[in-house]
Amino acid sequence: MERIYFDNGSTSFPKAPGVSDAVKSLLDNGAFNINRGGYEEAYAISEQVLETREMLCRMFDFGKPRNVVFTPSITYSLNYLIKGYLKEGDHVLCSSMEHNAVTRPLVQMEKRGVAFESVPCFEDGTMDPKEFEKMIRPETKAVIMSCASNVCGTMLPVKEVGRICHERGIAYIVDTAQIAGTFPISMKECHIDGLTFTGHKSLLGPQGVGGMLISDSLAKETEPLIAGGTGSVSHLEEMPDFMPDRFESGTMNLPGIIGLRAALLYHKGLKEGELARHELELAMRFLRGVEEIKGTRPVGLKTPENRAAIVSVDFVNDDNARVAFELESRYGIMTRVGLHCAPRAHKTLGTYPQGTVRFSFGGGNSLREVDFCLDALKKILEK
Ligand SMILES: Cc1ncc(COP(=O)(O)O)c(C=O)c1O
């Protein structure tokens, strides 16, 4: 049976051309530790790691490659910033569409005296920046918000919220998990102080590598959660205060970073907006098709503007888990069912507690696969 992968919101497949070769070549030829080995081979790898930081800076319109920090994933980056920056008495705002990578660390911080509130979004996942502005308090220290919902793809008003944060002197941290690589985002234009990313979703790199791009002031005010060897100023028992060493202790995930470098080179070679156009064409064809099938309730925006290529459907007369199971077992179509680690988003969209079946499209998918899936759904729902 043919297999069709519609779970790119979880992790992308296939990865960018060149990623697996780059990882294999590094491991085969010596993944020598950088910042430690004083030999030519290690310096050559250092150079590639620096290039990766520079490419990320270009992608996200940021001027400081040294302030690009590698972490195991966006979940780690968000934890580093949320737990390292916030203190007792601080107030934080996020949206009602966040992933647990934002809400769970915030709930943990609540127990340490940090107050947090989520700005209510509308039933299609959109947010009114004016509602957000009304919830700012004198003690609001940070806003932490995702660029696009991992449940339905709806984008949040990242630029408008950034402008308000900038005017009010509030630190602004964004989660780019569902857009990085596919949709452009500028740290400068959006006044972002901390941009977090994960390498394995739309960036098309391997798992186990993510990171954050942070302003000098955010870096200075954030306590490094993880301390250890950096290969620099080894006579000091305190963490270095310079970047990126302040936040990069321990041996780095070089295969992950070199794989991500190959993925970024691939993105560099694409025409602007090429990936987004293709993915949105698939998402819209699927959405239009699903809307015509009885017993379906697709959630989120119904037009291609301000959305990523994620379509979530509640099969109102059926068990969502059964539909997902039949799609996979009878037709080889891989999706994700449930709450997708974002319970607040489902409460906003009106799909809690049953969740949805999520179809998330990637560059490797085709219109033929979308049509095949729509046919399969019709047959499954006929019973
Ligand atoms: C919006 C959003 N934020 C954060 C994450 C967490 O990503 P990771 O598991 O790579 O840390 C995800 C993953 O699904 C996500 O969709």
Q: Tell me the pLDDT of the chain (383 aa) as tens digits.
A: 899 999 999 999 999 999 999 999 999 999 999 988 789 999 999 999 999 999 999 999 999 999 999 999 999 999 999 999 999 999 999 999 999 999 999 999 999 999 999 999 999 999 999 999 999 999 999 999 999 999 999 999 999 999 999 999 999 999 999 999 999 999 999 999 999 999 999 999 999 999 999 999 999 999 999 999 999 999 999 999 999 999 999 999 999 999 999 999 999 999 999 999 999 999 999 999 999 999 999 999 999 999 999 999 999 999 999 999 999 999 999 999 999 999 999 999 999 999 999 999 999 999 999 999 999 999 999 86
Instruction: Report pLDDT for 37.
Output: 74
**Is 101 near ligand 1, meaning CB less than 6 Å away?**
yes
**Is 178 near ligand 1, meaning CB less than 6 Å away?**
yes
Q: How far, in Å, CA of 230 to CA of 244, rounded? A: 10
Q: What is the DSSP string of 163-212?
A: HHHHHHT-EEEEE-TTTTTTS---TTTTT-SEEEEESSSTT---TT-EEE
Spatial neighbors of 130 by CB under 8 A, at least 6 apart, are: none
CB-CB contact of 348 with 125 (8 Å) = yes
CB-hemisphere CA count at 13 Å for 276?
Answer: 17
What is the number of the ligand 1 atom nearest to the C-alpha of 198?
10
Instruction: Report pLDDT for 163.
Output: 98
The alpha carbon of 40 and the centre of ligand 1 are apart by a number of angstroms equal to: 37
Q: What is the pLDDT of residues 202-221, one digit of tens each?
A: 999 999 999 999 999 999 99
Q: For residue 245, what is the DSSP state? A: G
From the options 2.40.30.10, 3.40.50.980, 3.30.110.40, 3.40.640.10, give the CATH code of 19-268: 3.40.640.10
The alpha carbon of 368 and the centre of ligand 1 are apart by a number of angstroms equal to: 28
| Mean pLDDT estimate for the chain | 97
Amino acid present at 106: L
Instruction: Report pLDDT for 35.
Output: 84
Query: Does the model's pTM come out above 0.95?
Result: yes
Fold for 4-14+272-382, please state it: Aspartate Aminotransferase, domain 1 (3.90.1150)
**Is 74 near ligand 1, meaning CB less than 6 Å away?**
yes
**Residue ranges covered by each domain of the chain:** 4-14+272-382, 19-268
Q: Which two tokens stand for residue 50?
A: 């620096």
* Torsion region of 229: left, alpha or beta (phi above 0 gives left; psi -120 to 50 gives alpha): beta
Q: What is the pLDDT of residues 129-148, one digit of tens each?
A: 999 999 999 999 999 999 99
Q: Which two tokens stand for residue 250?
A: 């321990």
Spatial neighbors of 161 by CB under 8 A, at least 6 apart, are: 127, 129, 132, 143, 145, 172
Q: Which two tokens stand for residue 351?
A: 């799909």
Q: How far, in Å, CA of 223 to CA of 370, rounded? A: 47
Total residues found in the chain within this entry: 383
Q: Order of strands across the sheet with 356-360?
A: 296-299, 310-315, 356-360, 336-338
Q: Decide whether 4-14+272-382 matches 19-268 in CATH topology.
A: no
What is the number of the ligand 1 atom nearest to the C-alpha of 341?
14
Shortest CA distance to 300 belongs to which of 128, 164, 81, 152? 152
Q: How far, in Å, CA of 93 to CA of 102, rounded? A: 11
